[in-house]
Structure 1
Amino acid sequence: MTERRSPTIRRRRLGAELRRLRDAANVTIDGVAERLECSASKVSRIETGHTMATVRDVRDMLDIYGVGGVERDELIQIAREARQKGWWHPYSTVLTGAYVGMEAAAGSIRAYEQQVVPGLLQTEEYARAMIRSARPDITADEVEQRVRVRLGRQSLLTQDDPIDLWVVLDEAVLSRPVGGDAVMRTQLERLVEAADLPNVTLQVLPFEVGAHAGMDGTFTILDFPEPGDPDVVYAENATGGLFLEKSEELQKYAFIFDHIRAAAIRPEETVALIAKLAKEPLWKSRQKGSAWT
């Protein structure tokens, strides 16, 4: 998985360019739909990147907007690339490829996680235990497919052009033994190893901080290297997740992340803490139910 030209991002970029050209040509969505003999909602979905445009659709749109020359050729080529299948396509029955596609094209990722180790840093055993617990409604085969996707994504950290990953983990992530004692100890050791990579930064937000800027929930900010690809915030939930792209939303989450990492302990202290917890885990220091007796 070394190819960074994600079809998801190509589709998103193509839609943005088609929207810009339509506005410049002073043509309405209804006008385009009438010329293409399709619904206005289809045109809108193409422009937002939610629907894959055929090369013929793109050619016809460019004819309407009067676009020719090099710009036309480049957009038609993007349309072809957008229709290619990402490496994750065989697993489309068990996941939505939108986030994976954007992640594959990101230059850097900033994430705050309240409950679990982020997928890019999970061990196989931790991933399997987490998915089984979080999705009791799916089959064993679906669990294994999700695990394979999660492990496949992790090459983004070690390939020739790796992403930069900055993660702030709530202390709760380190305190809950997902998969049991042995699995969680190995997971903590994996975090220490990952933090040694030059493109990975880890911080822990300790309980003693109290209330903080990230109380509303987990989120991920994806930054893209190309100027034509605006950043995205992804807020995950049980039904899939929400993508936020408005400038004010991006500014808000960047502001929140800056406050969270300022409140967290420094990266070098984080690594020392995680290494210590791998040997003396928090869940071993208390007997089950002892806090309530």
Structure 2
Amino acid sequence: MPTPPLVQTVRRRRLGSALRGFRNACGMSIDSAAAAMRWNVSKLSRIENAKAHLPIKDVALLLRQYDVTDPDVIAALEALSKDANKTGWWSTYGDVPGASYKDYIGLEDDAESTHTYTPGLIPGLLQIGQYAREIIAGTAITRTPDEVSALVEVRKKRQAILTDTTRPTGPLKFWAVIHESALHYRSAAVPTLMRDQLRHLLDLTDLTNINIQVMPILATPHPGMVGPFHVVRFPQPWPTVINVENIRGGSFAEGTEDVKVYEAAFERIQAAALPVEDSREKIKQIMEDSTA
């Protein structure tokens, strides 16, 4: 059997994890749950481990075995079951986006909000095309020119999530804290690049779903000094997911304790950064200085 598209794996994994959590919460063994559904144990095990699809018609029946009757919870899991077999737009790019990157795009597509800290560059959702091209070409060191172009397209398409009013939760709520040093990047090939990029940031701050803070160079020590990360939140009942970036893509943290640590870390980062209005003035000042 061919491996299912990764977007299915992402959504199936979230569904399977939720089902396993409800089963454990009610104290039911996997053998008992399977017997109650008149399934063999391997079927339920495959569903919980994202290796098989749970039909929508069975969602409420299975949740009933776990004493889950909240209609909002049932509806949320049925919606995820319905979407588990949908192929995301990013699948058309094949294996060009790495596995962890496709995982992240799949999560981002379902997210209600994202909080991100980036010490060395402008976050991908806020990048203009030319800036994205230079950054990707400089950091994706194993990529061919064609793959760089494809990754730039992926990054630009992701940005539609910031203004898409057709999403169930509306446009993605995005809160970014960017280190001041990232705003001073200079392009040798395109001298006006950062002026255009900073103007784009200022334009984005006019959107009510986007907040940008600048971490000043002289800021007090804070958890963001360790590196970039994203706090990705979803509508209830889905738990928050943490994405920690690295040069090979990123890794995920989904455990309750890990999530609490990163959420607390982001709060401290926000407190150490300039307030939103002061950040806007800082961006404007750097933009004006770059044209002097």
Taking only aligned residues, the RMSD between alpha carbons, in angstroms, comes to: 3.6
1:55–1:211 CA distance, 2 compared to 1 (3 A): closer
- Alignment partner of 1:87 is 2:89: yes
1:212 aligns with 2:222: yes
Matches within 5 A, 1:44-193: 46-47=47-48, 51-55=50-54, 78-95=80-97, 96=99, 97-160=102-165, 161-178=170-187, 180-193=190-203
Q: Work out the CA distance in 1 between the residues paired with 2:11 and 2:140.
A: 31
Select the residue among 234, 245, 250 that pairs with 1:241: 250
Deviation at 1:203, TM superposition (A): 0.8
* Residue deviations 1:242-277 (CA, integer Å, cap 9, x gap): 111111111111111111111111111111221221
Give me the whole-angstrom Cα distance separating, in 2, the residues matched to 1:200 and 1:79.
30
Shift of 1:176: 2.1
Q: Distance in 2 between matches of 1:52 and 1:84?
A: 15
Partners of 1:25 and 1:263 in 2: CA distance: 44
Aligned residues: 271
Alignment match, 1:14: 15
Unaligned runs of 5+ in 2: 1-6
2:3 corresponds to: none
1:180 Cα offset (Å): 4.5
Quote how far apart the aligned CAs of 1:8 are: 6.4
CA deviations on 1:215-258 (whole Å, 9 max, x unpaired) are 1111110111x222101111011122111111111111111111
Question: Quick one: distance in 2 between partners of 1:28 and 1:261?
Answer: 43
Secondary structure at the residue paired with 1:208? coil
Q: Hey, what does 2:4 align to over in structure 1?
A: none
Residues in 2 aligned to 1:237 and 1:137: alpha-carbon distance in whole angstroms: 15
TM-score, normalised relative to structure 2: 0.79
- Structure 2 Cα separation of the partners of residues 98 and 153 of structure 1: 13
CA gap 1:66/1:261 in 2 versus in 1, 3 angstroms: closer
Taking structure 1 as the reference length, the TM-score comes to 0.79
Structure 1 gap ranges (5+): 1-5, 286-293
How far is the alpha carbon of 1:191 from its aligned partner? 0.7
Aligned residue for 2:231, secondary structure, equals strand
Aligned partner of residue 225 in structure 2, secondary structure:
coil
Cα deviation 1:193-218 (Å, max 9, x = unaligned)? 11111111111111111422221111
Identity of aligned residues (%): 33
